[in-house]
Amino acid sequence: ATDQWLLDLDLPPASGWTTELVSQLINVWSAVHNMHFTENEEDKIVWKLTSHGEYTATSVYKAQLLGTTATNFNILIWKPWAPRKCKTFAWLIIQNRVWTSDRLATRGWQNNSFCPLCRHTQETALHLLVECRYTRKIWAALSDWIGCGQLNPGQWQPAQSVSEWWEATANLKEVPKKALRTLTLLVNWEIWNERNRRIFQHKELSTESLLAKIKEEAKTWSRAGARHLGSWLAFYF
């Protein structure tokens, strides 16, 4: 009697059976036979993602995160003070999702493959923000201005990605972390703007001029709400 449900199935003739169909049928049969029913008790839905068997929004949220990769974007990008557009740019370039020449080339889109800042090496996100000699001159000058030797590229550890370099730079020891993370956002944003200025406007700034612009922007950001950056750099303004 317990197998009456088998007779109710609209199964194909024996000639139409396949290995996959037989396997599915066996799995269903096994699942049904492993179910235990309690007489005189109403059916109820049990939510397996909580210990008490009841649905919660929190359990759904946690289930959605299963298998995802943890990131530190909140600490490096979203929490530090900076304009939203700068944070969005940082979020993209840390994941290598900006249209540098190497990525354009993979799409078959025509471009000048050389870095517009140094005109010497193929442009990649890592090269633009970390390896380019123009960029490194900016950071070296900032290091001298602030008196923070750890910011000098000569002190950086080799990095295989923008994400790896960004995390190392934003977590330097004995440096105000919140101010440093805002400064990192600012410098990288201005380097990206200089890159675009050269490509789309055919204008360029020397390292000295870009450094002066970064200093002015740091003042503006400090007045606009970047108080940690302002406190750190107040002596140098």
Instruction: Give one DSSP letter per residue of 54-72, joined into a string.
Output: ---HHHHHHHHHTTPPP--
Looking at the structure, do residues 78 and 10 belong to the same domain, yes or no? no
With beta carbons less than 8 A apart as the criterion, state whether 117 and 198 touch: yes
Looking at the structure, do residues 222 and 129 belong to the same domain, yes or no? yes
Looking at the structure, do residues 11 and 128 belong to the same domain, yes or no? no
Looking at the structure, do residues 51 and 80 belong to the same domain, yes or no? no
Looking at the structure, do residues 52 and 119 belong to the same domain, yes or no? no
Looking at the structure, do residues 107 and 165 belong to the same domain, yes or no? yes
Looking at the structure, do residues 219 and 147 belong to the same domain, yes or no? yes
Looking at the structure, do residues 89 and 153 belong to the same domain, yes or no? yes
Cα→Cα distances 226→11, 46, 112, 115, 217, Å: 70, 50, 37, 31, 11
Residues in contact with 63: Cβ distance below 8 Å, sequence separation at least 6, in sequence order = 49
Per-residue pLDDT reduced to its tens digit, 210-225: 999 999 999 999 999 9
CA-only gyration radius of the chain, Å: 29
Looking at the structure, do residues 93 and 166 belong to the same domain, yes or no? yes
Helix axes 133-146, 177-196, angle to 10 degrees: 140
What is the number of domains present in the chain? Answer: 2
Looking at the structure, do residues 50 and 136 belong to the same domain, yes or no? no
Q: 195 is written with which tokens?
A: 């890159």
* Nearest residue to 171 via CA among 162, 161, 184, 160: 184
Per-residue pLDDT reduced to its tens digit, 154-193: 999 999 999 999 999 999 999 999 999 999 999 999 999 9
Q: Select, from the ranges 31-35, 55-59, 140-144, the one with the highest average predicted confidence (pLDDT).
A: 140-144
Instruction: Give the residue from 41, 65, 89 where a domain finishes.
Output: 65
Q: What pTM was estimated for this model as a whole?
A: 0.72
Exposed, middle or buried by CB within 10 Å (0-12, 13-18, 19+), for 95? middle
Looking at the structure, do residues 47 and 78 belong to the same domain, yes or no? no
Strand partners, 122: 114
Q: 149 is written with which tokens?
A: 């030797």
Q: Which residues form the domain of 37?
A: 4-65
Looking at the structure, do residues 34 and 92 belong to the same domain, yes or no? no
More confident residue, 66 or 180: 180
The predicted model gives 188-199 an average pLDDT of 98
